[in-house]
Amino acid sequence: MASAPSKQYSDDVSLLMVLLDTNPFFWGGTNTTTGVLSFSSFLTHVISFLNSIILLNQLNQVVVIATGFNSCDYIYESSTSEAIIVNSDNGQMPALCSKMLQKLEEFVIRDEQLSKENSPTGIVSSLLSGSLSLALCYIQKVFRSGPLHPHPRILCLQGSPDGPEQYVAVMNAIFSAQRSMVPIDSCVIGAQHSAFLQQASYITGGVYLKPQQLDGLFQYLTIQSRRLVPDMGMICTPTDPHKPNCATYP
Amino acid sequence: MNYNKTNNFGERRLNGEDKEEDDDDDEGNGRGMEAWERAYADERSWESLQEDESGLLRPIDNNTMQHAQYRRRLRTLSATAATSRIQKGLIRYLYIIIDLSRAAGEMDFKPSRMVVVAKHVEAFIREFFDQNPLSHIGLVTIKDGVAQCLTDLGGSPDSHIKALMGKLECSGDSSLQNALDLVHDYLNKIPSYGHREVLILYSALSTCDPGDVMETIKECKKSKIRCSVIGLSAEIYICKHLCQETGGSYSVALDEYHFKELLLEHAPPPPAIAEFAVGNLIKMGFPQRAAEGVISICSCHKEAKAGGGYTCPRCKARVCELPTECRICGLTLVSSPHLARSYHHLFPITPFEEVSPTLLNNSYHKLTKTCFGCQQSLLHSGNRPTLRVACPKCNQHFCLDCDIYIHESLHNCPGCESLRHSKPMNNNE
Ligand SMILES: [Zn+2]
Ligand SMILES: [Zn+2]
Ligand SMILES: [Zn+2]
C-alpha cells in the first residue's frame, strides 16, 4: 500500500512500435550513404526481427508505422490482423510478411505522389515528428485499455538526417513519452548520428544504437534487442553480464 | 495570542453546500470549475438526462460530458494564453509541505488520506515540471510535531517522488510553525528573481507549535513567500489567516476528485507572479556535459567524482544535476532540453473542432472510419459514427481520447506533423 506505482504492465508481454524510415531520398539517393544496404534487404532484416519478437511470445504485439517524406501512416498492427502462425516448416512468415509489404508499397507510392505535387527543395529529412506522435497516440490507447497492458517501447529505424524544422515537435513528443514512461530506442542506419534520437533515447531511458556494419543488421537488432525487449534475455548466453532490461523507468 | 498549547481551530463543516459558498469568497479567479460544472459521478446523474426526438430517454454518456468540460477549459485556457505566456519562463521555488501527523492516517479518503495525498502529489510534481520547466520543488514532511526536509530544492521529478514514496508513515501531532520556520530558512536563501512559494497539504485540525505562529507568518510575509494550503478535513482559522496574509489560496478538499483538482490548480504559475517579476532578465548558462573519466570536485556533494555531471561555463565548477544554480558563481544552469520543455507554451496547438452531427449523419460513408492518431474505430456497432473532432489545419479526424492527450500532453497534432506541406508550423495565431 505504501508505494503507488503509476503503471502496471503485464509481465513479459511487449508492445513494440517500430517506426520505419521510408524516405525515398534516403533509400534512393545517388550519394547512397547506406553502404551495401538496399531498402529491400533492410526490410528483410526488419521482418525477420519482428518475427523473432512475435515468436518469442505469442502475446507480444508489433505495430509498424512508416515515416515517409511527405506523410506518415500505420502499416501493420499484429493485434488486429488474423492470428499470425509462423510456419516454421517452410521458413516463411506469410501473414506478417505479405500484409505488411503490400501496405508498405501502397504507402511508398502514395508518399512519392505527394512529392510530385510539391517538389522538395533541399530538405531530405523524413517526418519523424509525425510518426512519433502517431506512436504515442497508439500507446495511450493501449494504456486506456485497462490496468494490465503490454510493455510499450518505441523503436525508430532511422536513416534520413534530422529535419531542423521538426525540432519543437520532436521535443514535445519526447517529453510526452518521458511522462508516460515510454522508452524510445533508436537504431540509426544513416551516415550521421541523429541528435534528435540521441536526445530521445537519453531523455526517455531508451537505447541508442548506430551499427557499424549494416549487412548483419538482423543479427545486430536481435542481439541488441535483449536490451529492447525484456523476453529476449532468454536467448543470451547465461554468463551474459547484461541482465534483461525489465525496468523501464528512466 | 499564544499558541504554545495544542489549539483546536477546527470548525466542522456542516454539509457540502455551505462549504462551496465559502470557497467562492476567495477571489474566485483561479477556480477553474464551479460546482455545477463538476463531473457528477453518480449522485446527480438525473440532471443530465436528455430526451431524443421520439421522447425516449437517451443514455448518459459520461465520456462525452467529461469531454465537454475539458473543451470548456481548453477554450478559457487559450483565451488567457496571450496574457499568461509571459509568466511561463519564470522560475518558481516551491516547497510542498505534507502533513504526516496521525490525522493523515484517517480513512475518510480511501484507503487513507496519506496514500491519496502521495498519489496525487506524484502526478502534481510531474505536471509542475511540465508547466514550469526551469523551476524547483522541495519536499518537507511534518511528523511527531517536527518538520523534516525530505528533499532539497531540485529540478528532477523522479528523485522527489522516490523520496516521498519511501517515507509514507504517519504519527504524532502536526506543527505549522515548525514547518514554516524550516522552509522560510531555505527559501530566504534563494536568488531574488525566483518566486518563493509554499504549498501545505494539511490533514490535522490543530497545530502544536513551540512559539508564536503569528510571528512566523509575519516573517513569511516579509520574505515574500506565498503560502497556500489545501486542507483535507475542515477549514482552520490559522491556515486561512496564513494564506490571506501571504497572498496564497486556501481551500478544503471535499473528496479525492476535488483534492486532485485543487492540487493541480497550483501547477500553472499563479497570476500574481507576472507583476512580481516583471522584466527581470535572468542570466543563464548552458553547461557542457563533462567528459567521461575526468575526475573533478563536485560542488554539490563536495567530493571528487569521476565523469558525468556538467561544467559551469563561467567558473568551471562541476554540478551533478540540471537545472540548478551554480553554487560557486550563482549562475543559473539549464540544459537545452529544459528550455525545450517550455516550447509548447510558446507554440500552443489550436483546439480541435467537433465534427457536427449533421455532417456525421449525411455523409458518414465518406468519413474516415478510424481515429488518425490511435486507429481506434470511430464507428459504433451498427456503423453509426461516434462523436469525433477534427483539426482545423490538417482536417484529420480524432477520437475524443486522442484529442485530450494531444492537447494536454503531446502538444503536437499528429495529422499536421504527418504532412510536409503543412509546414512551417507557426501555429500561433
Ligand atoms: Zn559557476
Ligand atoms: Zn484516437
Ligand atoms: Zn492537424
Q: What is the mean pLDDT of chain B?
A: 75
Q: How far is the CA of A206 from the centre of ligand 3 (A)?
A: 28
- Structure-model confidence comparison of residues A90 and A246, the more confident one: A90
pLDDT value for B87? 45
Q: How far is the CA of B45 from the centre of ligand 3 (A)?
A: 34
Q: Which pLDDT tens digit goes with each residue over A176-216? A: 998 888 999 999 988 888 888 988 998 888 888 888 777 77
Q: Is B337 on the interface with A (CB under 8 A)?
A: yes
Rounded to a whole number of angstroms, the distance from the CA of B346 to the nearest CA of chain A is 10
Q: How far is the CA of B255 from the centre of ligand 2 (A)?
A: 31
Instruction: Give the burial class of B14: count Cβ atoms within 10 A of its Cβ; 0-12 exposed, 13-18 middle, 19 or more buried.
Output: exposed
Q: Which pLDDT tens digit goes with each residue over A96-123? A: 677 788 889 999 999 888 876 655 566 6
Angle at B413 between CA A68 and CA A209, to 5 degrees: 50
Tell me: pLDDT of A226 over 70. no
Q: Which pLDDT tens digit goes with each residue over B152-199? A: 888 778 889 989 988 888 999 999 999 999 999 999 887 766 788 999
Q: Which residue has the cell 561544467?
A: B311
- List all residues of chain B from 386 to 405 with a beta carbon under 8 Å from chain A: 401-402, 405
Extents of the domains making up chain A = 14-26+36-116+123-228
Rounded to a whole number of angstroms, the distance from the CA of B20 to the nearest CA of chain A is 30
Domains and CATH numbers, chain B: 87-276 (3.40.50.410), 288-346 (no CATH), 353-421 (3.30.40.10)
Choices 3.40.50.410, 3.30.460.20, 3.40.430.10, 3.40.50.720: CATH for A14-26+36-116+123-228: 3.40.50.410
Lowest mean pLDDT among A53-57, B38-42, B393-397: B38-42
Beta carbons of B412 and A2 less than 8 Å apart? no
What are the chain A neighbours of B409 within 8 Å (beta carbons)? 176, 179-180
Smallest Cβ distance to A74: which of B119, B375, B423? B375
Tell me: pLDDT of A90 over 90. no
> From CA B40, how far away is CA B47, in angstroms rounded?
9
> From CA A96, how far away is CA A193, in angstroms rounded?
30
Q: Which pLDDT tens digit goes with each residue over B268-312? A: 776 544 444 444 455 666 666 666 666 777 777 777 777 677 777
Closest alpha carbon to B180 in B223, B213, B222: B213
- Indicate which of B412, B421, B426, B427 best probes the interface with A, i.e. most A CBs within 10 Å of its own CB: B412
> From CA A228, how far away is CA A244, in angstroms rounded?
9
Q: How far is the CA of B60 from the centre of ligand 2 (A)?
A: 21
First-to-last alpha carbon distance for chain A, in angstroms, is 23
Beta carbons of A70 and B421 less than 8 Å apart? yes
> From CA B222, how far away is CA B214, in angstroms rounded?
12
Smallest Cβ distance to A176: which of B118, B409, B413? B409
Beta carbons of B344 and A172 less than 8 Å apart? yes
Rounded to a whole number of angstroms, the distance from the CA of A119 to the nearest CA of chain B is 10
Tell me: pLDDT of B10 over 70. no
pLDDT value for B74? 67
Q: What is the mean pLDDT of chain A?
A: 76
pLDDT value for B326? 75
Lowest mean pLDDT among A36-45, B51-60, B210-219: B51-60
Chain A residues with a Cβ under 8 Å from any Cβ in chain B: 1-4, 6, 69-74, 77, 114-115, 117-118, 127, 129-131, 133-134, 136-138, 140-141, 144, 165-169, 171-176, 179-180, 199, 203, 249-250
CB atoms within 10 A of CB B99: 30
Q: Is B66 on the interface with A (CB under 8 A)?
A: no
> From CA A184, how far away is CA A177, in angstroms rounded?
8
> From CA B423, how far away is CA A165, in angstroms rounded?
8
Q: Is B341 on the interface with A (CB under 8 A)?
A: yes
Tally A–B CB contacts below 8 A: 120
Closest alpha carbon to B248 in B185, B201, B311, B316: B201
Beta carbons of A165 and B414 less than 8 Å apart? no
Question: Rounded to the nearest 10 degrees, what angle do helices A167-179 and A195-204 cross at?
Answer: 20
Rounded to a whole number of angstroms, the distance from the CA of B55 to the nearest CA of chain A is 34
Cβ–Cβ under 8 Å, residues B102 and B170: yes
What are the chain B neighbours of A134 within 8 Å (beta carbons)? 372-373, 414, 418
Beta carbons of A2 and B421 less than 8 Å apart? no
- Indicate which of A3, A131, A199 best probes the interface with B, i.e. most B CBs within 10 Å of its own CB: A3
> Above pLDDT 70, what percent of chain B?
63
User: What does the pLDDT average to over B255-272?
Assistant: 83
Q: Which residue has the cell 516579509?
A: B222
Question: Which triple of cell numbers denotes residue B261?
Answer: 483538482
Q: Is B122 on the interface with A (CB under 8 A)?
A: yes
Smallest Cβ distance to A199: which of B337, B413, B417? B337
> From CA B156, how far away is CA B145, in angstroms rounded?
28
User: What does the pLDDT average to over A65-80?
Assistant: 89
Q: What is the pTM of this model?
A: 0.59
Beta carbons of B340 and A171 less than 8 Å apart? yes
Cβ–Cβ under 8 Å, residues A128 and A168: no
Closest alpha carbon to B149 in B185, B113, B118: B185
> From CA B237, how far away is CA B235, in angstroms rounded?
7
- List all residues of chain B from 95 to 114 with a beta carbon under 8 Å from chain A: 111
Beta carbons of B119 and A4 less than 8 Å apart? yes
Rounded to a whole number of angstroms, the distance from the CA of A88 to the nearest CA of chain B is 31
> Which of the ligands is closest to the CA of residue B299?
1
Q: Which pLDDT tens digit goes with each residue over B85-105? A: 444 446 788 999 999 999 999
